[in-house]
Structure 1
Amino acid sequence: MEHLGTVFEMGKAICAPLLSLKENEDILDKRIEELSCRERDVRADLEREKLQYGKTPKREVELWLKNVQNTKDKVHDIKQKLGEVSWTHIRLRRHLAKEVEEKIKKAVELKENGRFQEGLVVDLLVGSIETFPPIKIVGETTALKNLQKIEECLMDDEVGKIGVFGMGGVGKTTIMTNIHNNIKNAGTFDRVIWVTVSKESNLKKLQDDVSKELGLSLFNTEDALCRSAEIYRALKLIGNFLLILDDMWSTFPLKKVGIPEPNEEHKCKIVWTTRSEQVCRGMGSQRTIKVDALTKDESWTLFKEKLGTDFVLSPEIEPIAKAAVEECDGLPLGIITVGAAMRGVDDIRIWRNALEDLKNSRPDLEGLKDDVFSCLRFSFDHLKTQIHRDCFLYCALYPEDALIGCDSLIEKWMADGFFDEIEDREKAFDKGYTIIHDLKDACMLEKGENVPRSFVKMHDLLRDLAIAITRKSHQFVVNVHSKVGKFPSDENLMDDVIRVSLIHSRVEMLSCQSKCPKLSTLLLEGSRLGNIDHLFFEHMQNLRVLDLSDTGITCLPQSLSNLVNLNALLLRDCWRLTEVPSLVQLRELRDLSHLEELSMVESKWKWSSNEDRNGRGAGVEDIVRLMHLKKLLVDFVDLSAFSSYVRSGHSQGLNCFLLRVGDDEFFELQEIQEVFNSRECLVSVSDSDCVNSIAFPTSNITRLMIAHLHNLSAIYMEEPTQGDNLANLKYIHIRNCPKLKYVFSVGWFQTLQNLEVIIVDDCRAMEEMVVDMGDMGEANNNIPITLPRLKRIELYDLPNLKSICKRTLICSSLEQIVVICCRMLKMLPFSINSLPSSLEKINGSGRWWDPLEWDNANTKMHLQPFFSNSVTNRKKIRTSQIVQTMVSNWKKIKNDSTSNSQSVQTSVSKGGKKIKNDREPKEKQNTS
């Protein structure tokens, strides 16, 4: 009977989570609803602070919001699984029941942590709130006269809406950029907002662009009326604003966008620039100002400037040059491009030919005015080589006013065969950057404003010219931001097409109806694409570039294997992608110019070993076979797959990688995109059970991030073999690994010659950060270790840490040391003879700092001025929160029945530990 009683109790304990599952589901719904309310309040406060004062969220707030969203997503997945799993699957349902209990605790904890008594925001935003880089106004008399007229209207209280019109390339945007900066510096308005409208704009895109400048998030709001209400509310909060709408092509009611009409109630002003006076009238402009072309003298001055200030025209050439300038008809853009094309030419015969070309280059292109485009066509025809012209035309595949990443652009040029004659990848890349430089020098491309130098943009007139040229030859189909919902299907039209761009279009499905035998580039980034017919790629054997980034596709069709010439397959941000055909079938993808990039991070595809996939889909072994791969950004399904890849040694041949396991706590989406365009090599491993050690890369790696590996005991412990070192490692962050005792052996630690930051947080078993595995006696400890670039050491919640490193560290660049809750750490690894001269601050508690032991009495005296006691009111607040939570839970226990008290006490104990252990990393709490 005793045995039966024991079995009964065991069964009762096993089934307990299942018995309370339904009740806990209801509790979880309530807790998530409460958390969502707190989240909405926080977001509303952030929007108000951003709009009224231009302030940005603290990082701890951003991290909290991210954790809230992650928790909500996981709860959604749990509830979905519960709805799919049969009640007969006891083991799985019991596991899910435990997850429900954990998520209840997590939701309560997050809600409590979302109070932020010390505020939500910090410093001012950058971007549109700041002034733009100054652009020189050409033709001072004419342009300054136009600028003065506009500024006078802005100062007139009776004028709210101002229309500025003039032909394309005449300088409207340049004038308004200068006005933007002048008004911003003068502080006349509370906010100056700039939105580029462009030809391809529609109501939704315009609302998105305005909301982006205001810092609003309308991604979850599809209803146009609700979106306009949000924008209206935000603009009302700002009060006195100036809104500049650049490059408008059609009229629209302001109220549909959410823009208030300027009047006595709304003290704001709106300026739009357009090529059409009719648009100004349709928008109800109270003042209309025409931007005139340059005078003859202004045109000649600008032309000579573009030829070069040190270039002198001979008496024979000068009249020819003046005649060429007259052909530009006072259009600044035309004068600039023609001047750039003729820079350095001193042969009269070439000048005579150029003038003849200008007179005869009136483009026979439908819908384009001869006087506007003749000089631009001349500049295109006089680019250095055919490759320059092809590369220029390729840029027209991107949306109007788009910022084009140089790295991404060159990658596509290379994949499309522009530099096939160059076998070395780096040399081909150098060639691409040289062409971009030449196109900017010829004024055919512009540097992207307010962004790093690695972006360019295309003037809308030059883009129009490029599209017109390619349309006439039937080689391009460009339907970006198009309402057309299907792939072009006219076989007669598509026979000669070599490039198709449907970026941000409404295409939802690719059917098998189109035959495109010459198609080499297909761009569908950001379209509504959700499905691809399994036969779609049957007749596209020449396709070399396929960009499906940021689409809703769930699987790639088997006909992808027919793309024998495919060089670039881009799948960035394909969130719903779950099925990819085996790369083994894409033999030519490896055996042509070879697959050199694979980026699938942030899609739902996670790589595992081929054996685990039972022959279905692509696995780790397929990656390893890509011997010419240079850039790899992927997620692994587990540590086994990750270690399998690392042990293959394949990563040593890469010049850029991001290898991830688990839910990443370290990266935002924007940072991942920056990694793709860099030469960084990163590893992020988290949220996984593992054996006591894992294979990590032993070369190339630049950043290593590890979190929540519950069984990990050591990282880089065995001594490095010949050729192995971590010389490129710059940043290491380790968090919440409860069994981790050591990080590095001395052998590995000595190789960290470029390490800049090391952060270790909440590793409660850690005893020594760096351990001497050789055990060669005390004499060995006298040999110092030099880390010349180390700037920051941060140690948090390491209660058993006794030593950072037993050897002396020489860190000439060290700026900051943070030691929080490391009560057993009695010495810092610095000697009086090797103190870092660059040191700025040491953070820690006085109880830790005061009893520290030193090699020399003078060492502490030298370091004392840099010490700052880190115990702040934040600690008291955090401690108070924990105490309040535990007191509340204890009262709950007392009210429960005696029979349940023991189990509830266990829950509270675990809950208290959970609160303490899962603190956000960027908000270090000082509870001890």
Structure 2
Amino acid sequence: MEFLVAIGTGIVSKLGEMLMDPVTSQFKHLIHYEKNINKMKNELNNLKDRKGAIEGMVDADRRNGRHIAPNVEHWLYQVDNVVENELHKVYDDELVNKNKKCLNGLCPNLVFRYSLSKKAGKMAQDLVSLKEQKFEFISYPAPLPTLGSTFTEGIKSFASRDSIMTEVVEKLKGDELHRISLCGMGGVGKTTLVKELIKILEADKAFDEISMAIVSQVPDYRKIQGQIGDTLGLKLDKETLQGRASQLLERLNKINKVLLVLDDVWTELDFELIGLPSNGHCQKGSKILFTSRNEDVCHRMRSQRNFTIPVLSKEEAWDLFRDTVGGHVVDKAEIHNIAQEVANECRGLPIAIVTIAKALGNKEKHVWEDALDQLRKSSLISFSDMQEYSIYSCIELSYNFLGNEEAKFLLLLCCLFPEDFDIPIEVLLRYGVGLGLFKDLGALWKARNRVHTLVDTLKKRFLLLDSNEEECVKMHDVVRDTVVTIASKEEHGFAVKYDAGQIGSKEFTWHHSAISLVFDEIKTHPKSLQCPNLRLLQIFLKRREPISENFFHNMSKLMVFGISNLCIPSMSSPFRSLNNLCTLRLEDCQVGDISVICNELRKLEVLSFAHSNIKELPVEIGKLCLLRLLDLTECNELDQISPGVLASLSNLEELYLRVRNFHWEEKNSILADLKSLSHQLKVLEISITGIHIFPKDLEFKNLVKFWIYVRDPTTLSHGFVRRGYLHPNILKVNSVYHKDIKENVAIQQLLKKSEILNLVNVKQLENVLYELDEEVIVSAQFGQFKRDMPCQEFHLYSSMLWQLE
């Protein structure tokens, strides 16, 4: 009996313990209600901070064109879902609980309080789990776009093209032919056709890789290699052509099926020097397709099948013309018949059709009639003899219809550059200023805006083309040749370009007002270069070597002189008679003592030594009292600027002083000069070592554009730099304290005008950000901010931030 009582007592005791555990747990939820709620809120804040940091990195990577990892995207979605949905339910329940009482109305509702505490505890655990989730990487590089995706929309379908395209695609997909060419006259649409072929082949997945390079009249093998390498995602880092060719050939041999497109081939190419198979065949399944204006070149390149691209038929030409102008214009009763005749005069050349159609646009009837009269002047010439002239007459008409003399002048300046050249718009500005254009605009930065506006106009008229280089344009070779012909017809024609091969050791007399000379190398020098009417001279060398002083004699009217990649050991003799010079560009040059040019060239307004080897800016520079722009960009051997020289330049508007290795700590006099200039400068680029270099009372009230890099003295890199002369205002400050920024008047002024603010290792960063503007809201811990200032980008690279991360 006692045994049974003992057993019963044990069972009851055990049951009591089992019943007490859940009761205790329930009481814990009630007792720790406030603790659970507060823990959930704290963990929510922690998660939001982590989310803000991740979003900052995601936004930065997206701006740099990188793809965000899917697990990161999913994590951000989960966080948003928890915050927007789950937490709202808990908060809503908490609000209800505060207003809900038990039956007597005096105590909280314990059941509801228990449930809410339990939910909060569970939610806190979920928030911690989300916050502590790790990522191997936030983003990854975007895959290379397909070549076809970089082209504009497809071409209009024409019967004369469709059959050719069908057969070319068939031959490229087959195994019989390995080299195929498309030939035809300039402007017939070979390049456009090739681009459409590439799109078709990419859609059909006919090749593993497709690469394209533009060759042009004078093949630049290094550039051809670079274009092919870029489309294949290959970085060519060898110095010699042969080394780069080996890299390229090795890469191509690893691709099973590849199509190489060489566009605009004028002469037989050395495939081995480029890095292409030179035995007449690629490996099985791989092909070479090239275009040329010369059928003989196609044969010399061992083309196995040559497709000739004809001009458009009369019906096709009218369809293209009508689509380009717009049916609402050409279908007008008073315009229709004239428009058809104008289209006929274009002789089926697509480039001529599009060019003249854009030129006429919404013009009145009398303009159309005048255009037809001008085109008919060449109608008596037989079609075969007139084909090239037809292009000329159409583009001449487009040129005449510009209606803006400044735009015409700018187009002529573009003709001075080699074919397929990336023409810097800034050089067009500096040449124009030197020739006396834009005087009505006053400041140079206003003239720069005008030049870019004119370039946009010319691009819309298809007389200039976009370039892949920042703030550069290209010129279609047909347009360029035509405009050169137009200029050469005029007496003392403005823009005429000569290849340097036309210059021998004999005496030359030219009456043109602008000449551009391009040398592969200088083998002979003329005894004399007589240019009594020359106002602009431009000289390019592909490799740096000395040039005879005879080039510069008898040019007393010269106003613009641009030299690239030359060696000029003695500066005195060449510039002695150039006392009318207003713009001088000695860029990428090796020069001697430059003090002598300042004694002779008192009319200079624009002076550039960019990327040249000058070591000293002598005191004589101060004599250039009319100088408005001084460019010393990347003159990295510059070690001395004479005291007072900058202060003497009373008309200086723009100063470019991005120079590496310059010992600012020893140049207090230069900083004093800069202070005296500060009120008149409108554009400034400067790289200095340390914020303490700036005088504390220096002011930049009148700056319109600036790119200022206050860098760490221990580094040579400027870091984040401008990509062009219209690039947003940059202020980069590296390794300083908040008080240094606060005490510097110039930096404070620049902060308010900055469009890209790059702060690196700034101590007490949060104080800087709070003081930028009253509307700034900053989370100093993670770099989150909002602002109403004009700043377009904001870069935070702080050691403090990385430690917290």
User: Normalising TM by the smaller chain, what interval?
Assistant: 0.5 to 0.7
User: Of 499, 503, 509, which aligns to 2:540?
Assistant: 503
- C-alpha distance in 1 between matches for 2:434 and 2:143: 38
TM-score, with length taken from structure 2? 0.66
- C-alpha distance in 2 between matches for 1:318 and 1:56: 48
Distance 1:704 1:300, change over 3 A: same
User: Of 573, 588, 605, which aligns to 2:611?
Assistant: 573
User: Of 237, 242, 245, which aligns to 2:254?
Assistant: 237
User: Of 658, 664, 668, which aligns to 1:634?
Assistant: 658
- C-alpha distance in 2 between matches for 1:328 and 1:581: 58
- C-alpha distance in 2 between matches for 1:539 and 1:417: 20
* Residue number in structure 1 paired with 2:463: 444
Higher Rg of the two aligned structures: 2
8 A contact 2:586–2:608 mirrored in 1: yes
Distance 1:701 1:231, change over 3 A: closer
8 A contact 1:706–1:734 mirrored in 2: yes
- C-alpha distance in 2 between matches for 1:131 and 1:650: 49
Matches within 5 A, 1:101-180: 123-124=141-142, 126=144, 131-138=149-156, 140-180=158-198
Matches within 5 A, 1:702-721: 702-707=730-735, 714-718=739-743
- C-alpha distance in 1 between matches for 2:285 and 2:435: 53
1:201 matched to 2:214? The reply is: no
Partner AA of 1:191 in structure 2: E
Distance 1:187 1:629, change over 3 A: farther
Matches within 5 A, 1:772-791: none
Residue-by-residue CA offset, 1:803-827 (whole Å, 9 max, x unaligned): xxxxxxxxxxxxxxx441xxxxxxx
Cα distance, 1:285 vs structure 2: 0.8
Any stretches of 5+ residues in structure 2 without a counterpart?
1-63, 68-135, 500-516, 692-703, 716-727
Residue-by-residue CA offset, 1:816-842 (whole Å, 9 max, x unaligned): xx441xxxxxxxxxxxxxxxxxxxxxx
- C-alpha distance in 1 between matches for 2:776 and 2:303: 59
Highest relative contact order (Cα 8 Å, sep 6+), 1 or 2?
2
Partner AA of 2:556 in structure 1: P
* Residue number in structure 2 paired with 1:271: 289
* Residue number in structure 1 paired with 2:304: 286
8 A contact 2:646–2:677 mirrored in 1: no
Cα distance, 1:363 vs structure 2: 14
* Residue number in structure 2 paired with 1:192: 210
- C-alpha distance in 2 between matches for 1:661 and 1:142: 62
> Aligned with 1:244: secondary structure?
strand
Distance 1:704 1:758, change over 3 A: farther
8 A contact 2:765–2:780 mirrored in 1: no
* Residue number in structure 1 paired with 2:771: 750
Distance 1:650 1:564, change over 3 A: closer
8 A contact 1:600–1:633 mirrored in 2: yes
- C-alpha distance in 1 between matches for 2:387 and 2:526: 27
Matches within 5 A, 1:827-866: 844=805
Distance 1:226 1:679, change over 3 A: same
Task: Give the stretch that moved more between structures: 395-404 or 484-493.
Answer: 484-493
- C-alpha distance in 1 between matches for 2:376 and 2:658: 55
- C-alpha distance in 2 between matches for 1:186 and 1:420: 57
* Residue number in structure 2 paired with 1:584: 621
- C-alpha distance in 1 between matches for 2:375 and 2:616: 54
- C-alpha distance in 2 between matches for 1:215 and 1:722: 41
8 A contact 1:717–1:745 mirrored in 2: no
Partner AA of 1:683 in structure 2: Y
> Aligned with 2:211: secondary structure?
strand
Distance 1:323 1:363, change over 3 A: closer
8 A contact 1:726–1:752 mirrored in 2: no
Cα distance, 1:401 vs structure 2: 1.8
Distance 1:703 1:361, change over 3 A: farther
* Residue number in structure 2 paired with 1:546: 584
1:335 matched to 2:347? The reply is: no
1:598 matched to 2:631? The reply is: yes
Matches within 5 A, 1:409-808: 409-448=428-467, 454-471=471-488, 473=492, 475=494, 476-479=496-499, 482-485=519-522, 489=526, 491=528, 493-506=530-543, 508-513=545-550, 514-515=552-553, 516-525=555-564, 527-529=565-567, 531=569, 533-553=571-591, 556=594, 558-574=596-612, 576-582=613-619, 584-587=621-624, 590-591=625-626, 594-606=627-639, 608=641, 610-611=642-643, 621-622=645-646, 625-635=649-659, 636-641=662-667, 645=671, 648=675, 650-651=677-678, 653-661=680-688, 679-687=705-713, 702-707=730-735, 714-718=739-743, 724=749, 726-729=751-754, 730-735=756-761, 749-752=770-773, 794-796=797-799
Residue-by-residue CA offset, 1:472-523 (whole Å, 9 max, x unaligned): 5464344465325279847565223333333344562233223222333333
- C-alpha distance in 2 between matches for 1:343 and 1:217: 45
8 A contact 2:751–2:757 mirrored in 1: no
8 A contact 1:554–1:579 mirrored in 2: no
- C-alpha distance in 2 between matches for 1:722 and 1:680: 12
Partner AA of 1:178 in structure 2: E
- C-alpha distance in 1 between matches for 2:570 and 2:616: 12
Cα distance, 1:357 vs structure 2: 1.6
Partner AA of 1:500 in structure 2: L
Distance 1:751 1:327, change over 3 A: same
- C-alpha distance in 1 between matches for 2:590 and 2:430: 23
Cα distance, 1:381 vs structure 2: 3.0
Distance 1:721 1:314, change over 3 A: closer
Distance 1:744 1:188, change over 3 A: same
Cα distance, 1:407 vs structure 2: 4.4
* Residue number in structure 1 paired with 2:107: none
Task: Give the stretch that moved more between structures: 228-237 or 168-177.
Answer: 228-237
Cα distance, 1:466 vs structure 2: 2.5
TM-score, with length taken from structure 1? 0.58
- C-alpha distance in 1 between matches for 2:587 and 2:243: 29
Any stretches of 5+ residues in structure 1 without a counterpart?
1-54, 59-117, 612-619, 665-677, 690-699, 762-768, 770-783, 799-817, 821-842, 845-928
Partner AA of 1:629 in structure 2: E
- C-alpha distance in 2 between matches for 1:785 and 1:269: 55
Partner AA of 1:502 in structure 2: I
- C-alpha distance in 1 between matches for 2:608 and 2:380: 36
Residue-by-residue CA offset, 1:95-128 (whole Å, 9 max, x unaligned): xxxxxxxxxxxxxxxxxxxxxxx99x95246577
Partner AA of 1:601 in structure 2: E
Matches within 5 A, 1:402-413: 402-413=421-432
- C-alpha distance in 1 between matches for 2:217 and 2:524: 21
8 A contact 2:758–2:795 mirrored in 1: no
Distance 1:372 1:232, change over 3 A: same
Partner AA of 1:577 in structure 2: I
8 A contact 1:561–1:585 mirrored in 2: no
Cα distance, 1:565 vs structure 2: 3.1
Distance 1:226 1:685, change over 3 A: closer
Distance 1:313 1:539, change over 3 A: farther
8 A contact 1:165–1:275 mirrored in 2: yes
- C-alpha distance in 2 between matches for 1:385 and 1:705: 44
* Residue number in structure 2 paired with 1:347: 365
Cα distance, 1:462 vs structure 2: 0.8
1:395 matched to 2:434? The reply is: no
> Aligned with 1:242: secondary structure?
strand
8 A contact 2:434–2:560 mirrored in 1: no
Partner AA of 1:152 in structure 2: E
- C-alpha distance in 2 between matches for 1:744 and 1:375: 62
> Aligned with 1:168: secondary structure?
coil
Distance 1:603 1:220, change over 3 A: farther
> Aligned with 2:572: secondary structure?
coil
> Aligned with 1:323: secondary structure?
helix
8 A contact 1:134–1:178 mirrored in 2: no
